[in-house]
Amino acid sequence: MEKDFEILIASFIENNIGIAEHFLNEGLANNLKINLLALHKKKLLLAAATGNTDKRIYNSAVRSDAIYWLDRKHEDKYENEFFDRIDDFISYLNKSCYAGITGYEFHYSLYETGSFYKKHIDQFQNNPNRKYSLISYLNNNWQKEDGGELMIYQLNKEQKISPMQGKTIFFKSNELEHEVLITHQTRMSITGWLKGGG
């Protein structure tokens, strides 16, 4: 378990983007995907917005995914297993890097064919609590022609990351502009933020 944490942190230190190919094991990723698809079938995923609280804006020309917020109060076995994994990672991150993470929030995210999310930064202008973005993908056998890559922009380079199942991405929420390119297949993930005060 700690090996995957170390891979995520080491690649983040080297490139400002942490990537661990097997942060979620196959069994957990499959069960989370089943949960997501069941929620989608029940029409419980809602259109995603940009901004927060009274500044929330719905604009499908900017963002066209649908989301469902995760919560331990739902008492879902697999979602709580995911939270346990995140708790362990935060403990390791705080101990090894003095990150000061005190909380988090996560949601399922589903992009239908033709969906996208234009270039943006994850931290709100009026709230700096989001310190790190963390995305875990739930897509089996994703092919290049399926699109839907995460495009991350750094000073002199762009990096395109395929949303393969089990893979987790980790970066500072206030630093890296990124976007989700148009997907040609249903694209699923758990997306969230590690939070700290101030």
What mean pLDDT do residues 121-142 have? 85
Q: Give the count of beta carbons closer than 10 Å to the beta carbon of residue 158.
A: 10
Q: Where residue 114 falls among pLDDT bands split at 50, 70, 90? A: very high
Report domain extents, the chain.
2-48+62-195
CATH number for the domain formed by residue range(s) 2-48+62-195: 2.60.120.620
Integer Cα distance of 93 and 102 in angstroms: 11
Q: List the beta bridge partners of residue 191.
A: 107, 135
pLDDT above 70 covers what percent of the chain?
94
State yes or no: pLDDT of 97 exceeds 60: yes
Give the pLDDT confidence of 18-46 residue by residue, as tens digits: 999 999 999 999 999 999 999 999 999 99
**What is residue 49's predicted lDDT score, i.e. its pLDDT?**
76
How far is CA 56 from each of CA 35, 52, 53, 59, 131, rounded to the nearest angstrom?
A: 27, 5, 6, 10, 20
What number of residues does the chain have?
198
Reported pTM:
0.93
The secondary structure of residue 72, as a DSSP letter, is G
Q: Reduced to 3 states, what is the DSSP secondary structure of residue 44?
A: coil
